Structure 1
């Protein structure tokens, strides 16, 4: 059905005071560490599901733009880093590299990640705090990057920024909370991205797709898949999308999202299917704030204690790009709660 949108605020709450954090200067370990025991996770209500998948599904799996899916730093040197200086050096290397993050690393601002990198947390205690990761710069692209099994906290800007035409990016099994701006933003002509099995919590703005209403260069780009993520009490942007077609949102768990679940704007096309919305008054918006309406096709979602979705128009079928299987939406809360976040991937 199509509903008349309710009035919406042009600005949103939840931004935290900007703060600066000192850069830690210490060493790097050149050999991998063994995986640690998984820490207790209040999200999991059953035994944690451990993923041994080394390749994404969704848009990051697509052979396009000269890249055969997303392989990250496969074939490159493996290093284990314990400081911001070592992480920045490895992430900025011109060579393919598998970078293992061990323990808690405090950074300042954004660390630039360039092409052909896998950044993977060791065990269940890897954390990047105080800053975040930016994929690529205007002169050094951040293509073919994998980020897995890391806790991101207290970023002074975005926790993860996929930007500057980065393509083939897989963001999987991370825990993102308590940042300053967006926890995960995908923008500026980036493309072929999969966001899977992440937990977003203790924050307002979860995930933006599309830089601004005044950046039409994103048209024809920003193809993103979101699947099996837990948007746990975050207020908005799960995702909020401009221009992209299609963005595929399936089998995600939405719980207690105060402002809205998903928003499609500026003629973006979203396929929303097999998701579970719990206590979300506005699960899907067509248009938001000052942004023009987008398009949404929704099918086989569950709305428990939630409002009715807005829909409009037609959307490109994701199956024209890749195969996928949608879990029954009633199973999503248990499956996602048991499987998201850190400590649940093979080491």
Structure 2
């Protein structure tokens, strides 16, 4: 599954002609100037395409074709993310920040090459239609990305180092979320779906999340740990050197685990975790290298969307080459 990157249009110099203030080009030897042709406009930045749950419920388009704004500091980023008007924001450089930053609805937030948020995370709370892509996160003081009471969210092609709590947590009735093509590198409690066992009244019937083509690289646990969401779809992910466990289905959850590649992962998936009751889990078409076979049981609701499943044996090469920030 190849990723299509956005391209910018670069307008070159005008050669020997001199550019007049009127926009005309004066060519030596001619008595008059002809207006210069208009330069072609740069194509709009196109957001990542959602596959899975984020493509349902009308789809997830973020800021769409809104004119992009570039930010390079915490104050600029905070101001740019405010409000629910359509917006496309590009982060440049390493932005150091010390708190959670709120993200408004109808937002595409992406990183330029090498862009990083250090010391803080994003609050995607009580909003809808948000895309976060091509950013690096490190040393966050709470969660790197906290999705809460929000719908239609796509987290795509980001790289996560380590921080205080979850890299990407989906909680409190959030729904229609896809987490795709990310590189999770070394975090302990990595990615949670459903924050507590006693939140059934808000979470039951929601928390539908797709995880696909992510690289869980030495992440110790919660890859993901799921409560209530049914079905949560975990497909075509790469798990390498996972310490405690890969996927846990708990507390009324139903998780479909298919077409994944598990390497050096003793416990790839199981039912129940900690004090949480067992959920259900169906596993099929997975590939195991020096890994356990996992625990499954019960049935899971049908996945309603179309998707293409890459062969599990090819996932290591596909995902290691394509996951994370570019």
Q: Does 1:189 align with 2:176?
A: no
Contact kept in structure 1, 2:47 and 2:62, CA below 8 Å:
no
1-structure distance, mates of 2:122, 2:47: 23
Contact 1:34 1:122 in 2 (8 A): no
Q: 1: distance between equivalents of 2:117 and 2:164?
A: 14
**1:108 counterpart SS class:** coil
TM superposition shift of 1:94? 3.1
Query: Take 1:173 and 1:240, find their aligned partners in 2: how far apart are those partners?
Result: 21
Alignment of 1:130-279 (within 5 A): 130-136=119-125, 141-163=126-148, 165-216=149-200, 217-279=202-264
1:15-35 Cα distance to aligned partner (Å, 9 max, x none): xxxxxxxxxxxxxxxxxx969
Tell me how far apart the structure 1 counterparts of residues 207 and 135 of structure 2 sit (CA, whole Å).
24
Q: 1:86 aligns with which of 70, 76, 88?
A: 76
Task: Pick one of 49, 56, 59 that aligns with 2:53.
Answer: 59
The answer (yes or no) to whether the contact 2:47–2:108 under 8 Å persists in 1 is no
Greater Rg over alpha carbons, structure: 2
3-state SS of paired residue (2:119): strand
| Deviation per residue, 1:85-113 (Å, 9 max, x gap) | 11111111331100001111011110000
Relative to the length of structure 2, the TM-score reads 0.85
Q: Deviations over 1:204-258 (max 9, x none)?
A: 0110000111111211001000000000001000000001100000000001111
Question: Partner of 1:95 in structure 2?
Answer: 85
Give the distance between the partners of 2:47 and 2:107, measured in 1 at CA: 17
Name the residue aligned to 1:326: 309
TM-score (norm: length of structure 1): 0.79
Q: CA RMSD in A?
A: 1.5
Task: Tell me the distance in 2 between the aligned counterparts of 1:334 and 1:120.
Answer: 25
Which secondary structure state, in structure 2, belongs to the residue aligned with residue 185 of structure 1?
A: strand
SS of the residue corresponding to residue 77 of structure 2 reads helix
SS at match of 1:144: strand
Kept in 2: contact 1:237–1:262 (CA 8 A)? yes
What SS does the corresponding residue of 2:198 show, helix, strand or coil?
coil
1:316 counterpart residue number: 301
Shift of 1:53: 7.2
User: How far, CA to CA, are the matches of 1:90 and 1:284 in structure 2?
Assistant: 40
Deviation at 1:202, TM superposition (A): 2.1
Task: Select which of 307, 321, 325 maps to 1:338.
Answer: 321
Structure 2 counterpart of 1:285:
270
Cα separation, partners in 2 of 1:69 and 1:297, compared to 1, 3 Å: same
Aligned to 2:15: none
SS of structure 2 residue aligned to 1:314:
coil
Instruction: Give the Å deviation of 1:54.
Output: 3.3
Larger RCO of the pair (alpha carbons < 8 Å, separation 6+): 1
Deviations 1:234-291 (A, max 9, x none): 1000000001100000000001111000000001000010001111111111001110
CA distance in 2, matches of 1:338, 1:53: 21
Structure 2 stretches lacking a partner, 5+ long: 1-6, 10-45
Distance change (3 Å), C-alpha of 1:183 and 1:73: same
Cα drift, residue 183 of structure 1: 0.7
2:104 equivalent in structure 1:
114
Q: Work out whether 1:77 is the aligned partner of 2:77.
A: no
